[in-house]
Structure 1
Amino acid sequence: MGSVTLRKKILKKGRVSLYLDFWPKIVNPDTGKLSRYQFLDIYLYKRPKNDTERFHNEETMALAQHIQASRILDIQAMKYDFISERMMKGNFVDFFETEKNKASKSDSDNWDMALRYFKDFTGTYIPFPQVNETFAEEYADYLLSAPALGNRNRPISQNTAVSYFAKFRATLRQAFKKRLLSTNIYELVDSISPKETHREFLTLEELQRLADTPCTSQVVYRASIFSALTGLRFSDIHTMRWDEIRGSRGNYSVQFSIDKTDAADYLPIPDQAFDLLGSIPDMDSLVFSGLSYSKVRSVLPGWLAEAGIKKKFSFHCFRHTYATLQLLFGTDIVTLSKMLGHKDIKTTMIYVKIVDSLKRAASTKIRLAENKEWLQLHKTGI
């Protein structure tokens, strides 16, 4: 049987720290590593000067001995959750910020806004024990009616609320894994249901027409058509460097680092997309130097109008165009999901619905002129 010994550590300024010494070592449920010591965060006076300080020492020692006895019972019952008690008193908002800092480059802005709305709801401090099922449901209700931080006169969209609440639930799941929450609130609280939205895209004929239409900005032209040919987001294109381009004619690809690790992912790109990149000034320079979203917003509407395209269209719609055309030309959903970098194939399924509706519309385009004789033959089966 293991032992739990109450020990003292002499500190500066005349104080003595009390801690428990476990033998053999026990597994810390937060780290999975063996741990020997638990500091109790209670202190004695090294040399008590009066009755008050002596009484304090007696009471503190009694408390430490009570904790020691409790730990012995815990170990006998193979219960080690007590190691997390100190961390459970921590700040959930700080933990949320830690999770935000782990976000991938393409998702960092979304995490930033999710944290801002969470702080707007709860402030900068809430201890872990106060984060429960009721709190999570109240936060979901808040997001569904929350005013936009930049415009207090209107609420955020439902799909924006879906995204921000998903970040909160992901943080809940990690907090439970690290034993910072005693209950798996992630499993108890449902995600906010997304609202079906129309995803605008260009037909192949429209995309060809746009590519044939002069644009007032060469960098916007190149980045836009490149996105339509590869499905890459603006954030990926904006930060793409020449040293991320790999391969040779017929075998080009773009290399991406994954979530601040050394692992890499490769996206094959067609030769036409590579031809849009232009010449290489130096390997660590930006491929689309001078590209900004403000420039895209100012140039894109006029370019679309010149091409005779009357659609409410943003840069991200080039990604929708890529996905929709890939499915129309026979690419399977699993491959497309990987090409788009979706973590969940359910995200990709929205494009299947778009293609199904296009096929349904196409199925009604071939119609024969009906006449009385044709109808009579049809009815009699002759």
Structure 2
Amino acid sequence: MRYENSHIPREKISQQKDYKHNNYQHFTTQRRKDKKAVSFRYLALFFITFVTRLLPIFAIFVMGNKKLIIMKTRNSSAHAAKNIKAKEPVKMRFKKLANGNLSIYLDIYHPNSGERQYEFLRIYLVPETDEKSKAMNSKNLELAKTIQAKKIVQLNTEIHGISNAKERSKILLRDYLASYASNMGKSVQQGINSLIYHLKKYKQNDIQIGKIDKNYILGFIDYLEDAQIEHTERHKGKTLSNNTQASYFKYFKMALNEAVTDDIISFNPILSIKKKRRPTPKKVDREFLTAEELQKFASTDFPNDLLKRAFMVGCLTGLRHCDIKQMKWSNVGVIENGVESIKLIQQKTQDAVSIPLNSNITKWLPKRGDAKDTDLVFEGLITLGRTNEILPTWAAKAGINKHLTFHISRHTFAVTAIENGIDIYVVSKILGHKSIAITEIYAKVLDKSKRDAMEKMNQIEV
């Protein structure tokens, strides 16, 4: 067989074949490398595309989960807060009264029964016009919060079915009365304090409230019948009046009724006493001064000029001794509906009262001089107890044969106002009565006075 290029030597041809083979291997190896490089580039491009396209989606997913976690946390917190509130279903609320005061009451929810109860605490917040009113509001608010805390404890006891009535019944009677009095008005506080005093005189050692029985009550009734007055010189050594005994007994019954409400005792032992055995008040005529007697008092000299002025202002305005004693110059001359008035908060009821000024009232007010608005009008006025001890001396000097107390000035105003044709509703507002029925008593007093006068006229033979 004849080879092409036969003229080329065999060795040369062999070298050419080797060269081609080597080139082929080199080309194949390079191609493989190129394919690997292309594959790597595609892989890198794919990875970059994957990351750039899916990363935002992944971020959204992560953030969504984070928000979900936050929302779940918030919901859990809200649920926990709701559960906490559910354990304290006693809310303090405020009712605005017509006089501008706020009456504090508790909104109580009983989970076991599903009933809602509103308990008015007889604690008030007054408009904060000075530091004294601010301090009083702060004190009253703290007291209300204390009562609220006690109610929460009582309610939790009810919710969880815990019965500690036996322990509560071990509370000492006089301690409970003092606690009960702290939530009441000033006049009731004074009455209960006097009751505590006589209970101590009756039995030196205090008694657990759960151990009070019929015999204890009957023994106290017997004590009251023989008890003597010790606080005032004028009446010292005299026995308590029937009305005073009835008053103490009324406060005792009120407090024990409250103990039943508080689940401290299950029954008020006073209810086991027959009514005819209980102290009952006797109906007495309300003393007052006639216009002629009032003129006699005004013209009679009296050593204590400040007391005389205070009594006359009481007869002309119907204000109580405590209100006259606390009256400041800022309360006098207040413009009310275009009229100069005395405007103040009554100490007994915490209600506002406004009394138009006239020349008679102004004449009996002390001279102001350089006194500031914050100064008392009747600076140095003696206490009510001392006042009632020395007023009869003035009555005797004026030739008036009546048992004179400062409160008669209030009766005098009411009867005189009604007698002179002032509408009974207006009189009721000036006196600060909560019910017009109280004011109507003075109208009945006036009717009786007229009947008595006509009876005397009937005795004259003409």
TM-score by length of 2: 0.54
Cross-structure match for 1:115: 196
1:210/1:340 Cα in 2 relative to 1: closer, same or farther (>3 Å)?
A: same
Deviations 1:86-138 (A, max 9, x none): 32222221010112333434554433212101222244522222234554344
1:98/1:241 Cα in 2 relative to 1: closer, same or farther (>3 Å)?
A: farther
Q: Verify: 1:168 aligned to 2:290, yes or no.
A: no
Alignment of 1:293-332 (within 5 A): 293=383, 296=387, 300-301=391-392, 303-305=394-396, 307-331=398-422
Aligned-residue identity in percent: 28
The structure whose RCO (Cα within 8 Å, separation 6+) is larger is 1
1:256/1:132 Cα in 2 relative to 1: closer, same or farther (>3 Å)?
A: farther
- Kept in 2, the 8 Å contact 1:27–1:80? The answer is no
Offset at 1:161? 0.8
Offset at 1:140? 3.0
Other structure's SS at 2:303 match: coil
Following the alignment from structure 1 to structure 2, what is the Cα–Cα distance between the partners of residues 32 and 86? Answer: 24
Offset at 1:203? 0.5
Offset at 1:219? 0.7
1:258/1:312 Cα in 2 relative to 1: closer, same or farther (>3 Å)?
A: closer
* Counterpart residue identity of residue 235, structure 1: C
Cross-structure match for 1:286: 376
* Counterpart residue identity of residue 378, structure 2: F
- Kept in 1, the 8 Å contact 2:353–2:432? The answer is no
* Counterpart residue identity of residue 449, structure 2: L
Following the alignment from structure 1 to structure 2, what is the Cα–Cα distance between the partners of residues 307 and 152? Answer: 25
Q: Verify: 1:241 aligned to 2:328, yes or no.
A: yes
Of 181, 193, 200, the residue aligned with 1:100 is 181
Cross-structure match for 1:17: none
Cross-structure match for 2:296: 209
* Counterpart residue identity of residue 211, structure 2: Q
Structure showing the higher strand proportion among its residues: 1
Other structure's SS at 1:102 match: coil
Other structure's SS at 1:252 match: strand
Of 342, 352, 369, the residue aligned with 1:265 is 352
Deviations 1:132-168 (A, max 9, x none): 4554344334323323345895421111112211221
Deviations 1:307-331 (A, max 9, x none): 4434332322222212322332345
1:32/1:301 Cα in 2 relative to 1: closer, same or farther (>3 Å)?
A: closer
Offset at 1:226? 0.7
1:217/1:197 Cα in 2 relative to 1: closer, same or farther (>3 Å)?
A: same
Following the alignment from structure 1 to structure 2, what is the Cα–Cα distance between the partners of residues 311 and 158? Answer: 20
Cross-structure match for 1:159: 243
Following the alignment from structure 1 to structure 2, what is the Cα–Cα distance between the partners of residues 81 and 132? Answer: 26
Following the alignment from structure 2 to structure 1, what is the Cα–Cα distance between the partners of residues 316 and 188? Answer: 22
Other structure's SS at 1:192 match: coil
* Counterpart residue identity of residue 204, structure 1: A
- Kept in 2, the 8 Å contact 1:245–1:254? The answer is yes
Q: How many residues align?
A: 306
Alignment of 1:1-382 (within 5 A): 32=108, 80=161, 82-132=163-213, 135-149=216-230, 154-184=238-268, 192-245=279-332, 247-248=334-335, 250-256=339-345, 264-271=351-358, 272-277=360-365, 278-279=367-368, 281-293=371-383, 296=387, 300-301=391-392, 303-305=394-396, 307-331=398-422, 336-337=427-428, 339-341=430-432, 350-364=441-455
Offset at 1:292? 1.0
Offset at 1:195? 1.9
Q: CA RMSD in A?
A: 4.2
Following the alignment from structure 1 to structure 2, what is the Cα–Cα distance between the partners of residues 154 and 306? Answer: 25
- Kept in 1, the 8 Å contact 2:169–2:209? The answer is yes
- Kept in 2, the 8 Å contact 1:258–1:265? The answer is no
Structure showing the higher helix proportion among its residues: 2
Offset at 1:192? 2.8
TM-score by length of 1: 0.64
Following the alignment from structure 2 to structure 1, what is the Cα–Cα distance between the partners of residues 447 and 162? Answer: 52
Give the structure with higher Rg (CA): 2
Which runs of no fewer than 5 residues in structure 1 stay unpaired?
A: 1-23, 36-73, 372-382
- Kept in 1, the 8 Å contact 2:230–2:237? The answer is no
Following the alignment from structure 1 to structure 2, what is the Cα–Cα distance between the partners of residues 282 and 300? Answer: 30
Following the alignment from structure 1 to structure 2, what is the Cα–Cα distance between the partners of residues 179 and 304? Answer: 51
- Kept in 1, the 8 Å contact 2:246–2:280? The answer is yes
Other structure's SS at 2:339 match: coil
1:187/1:283 Cα in 2 relative to 1: closer, same or farther (>3 Å)?
A: farther
- Kept in 2, the 8 Å contact 1:103–1:111? The answer is no
